[in-house]
Amino acid sequence: MWIYEKSLERPVKISRPDPAFAKLVITQYGGPDGELSASLRYLNQRYSMPTDKAKALLTDIGTEELAHMEMIAALVYKLIEGADPKDMEAAGWGGQYAQHNHGLFWTDANGVPWSAKYIACLGDPITDLAENMAAEQKARTTYEHLIDLTDDPCVKDTLRFLWQREVVHFQRFGECLNDVQEHMSKMNTWCGYEMRK
């Protein structure tokens, strides 16, 4: 079960509305390396993890990613607050207005809709944890690109927090991968193959 907490993980502030940047940062909502993809990837992989530690870590990081998804949603909400159709069009986001108005939609920065193809789950714990480490690096890189694309210090501050969380998650997944490898070597298994018994 999940319980909703009526609070963001960290306050999200902006200096001024900026629909053009909303169009770019939406990729961390519904893009390949965005927070929805991350959350679903980790929560979904729990069912094929061999250790309690791995199940705990995927539960907790998957849950934190949901909170990050909400921070990105709050950021987009604020960046387009009060923007009229002309503002949206001038920002290059007329298509968003035509189809969704101020409603959020799961796309990347190029308008490509979210896809389950962004989620990997091979059912092999080593493969899947390595996938997650790569995913954290891809998200980190995307945040660096986004930080380059805004001049708003408040927006940069939010993006830096999320950037830093990707670094921590990468570290924790690495520790978890080592632990799972050790566990599997004790079971005389390798890549899902039972080598003995």
**Is 65 known as a binding-site position?**
yes
Tokens of 80: 């387009």
SS3 category, 24: helix
Name which of 38 and 57 has its Cβ closer to another protein. Answer: 57
Question: Whole-angstrom Cα distance, residue 109 to residue 160?
Answer: 19
**Is 128 known as a binding-site position?**
no
Opening angle at CA 98, ends 96 and 103, nearest 5: 55
Give the distance between the most distant pair of CA atoms in the chain. 69
Name which of 89 and 104 has its Cβ closer to another protein. Answer: 104
**Is 169 known as a binding-site position?**
yes
**Is 60 known as a binding-site position?**
yes
165 φ/ψ angles, rounded to the nearest 5 degrees: -65, -35
Name which of 5 and 194 has its Cβ closer to another protein. Answer: 5
20 φ/ψ angles, rounded to the nearest 5 degrees: -65, -35
Name which of 89 and 102 has its Cβ closer to another protein. Answer: 102
CB of 157 to another protein, least distance (A): 14
CB of 71 to another protein, least distance (A): 9
Name which of 32 and 181 has its Cβ closer to another protein. Answer: 181
Task: Describe the crossing of helices 52-79 and 35-45 by its angle, rounded to 10 degrees.
Answer: 160
Binding interface with another protein (CB under 8 A): 3-12, 53, 56-57, 60-61, 64, 70, 73-74, 77-78, 168-169, 172, 175-176, 179
CB of 172 to another protein, least distance (A): 5
Among the listed residues 61, 181, 172, 171, the one whose alpha carbon sits nearest the alpha carbon of residue 126: 181
**Is 183 known as a binding-site position?**
no
> Residues at the annotated binding site?
35, 60, 65, 68, 136, 169
Binding residues for Mn(2+): 35, 65, 68, 136, 169
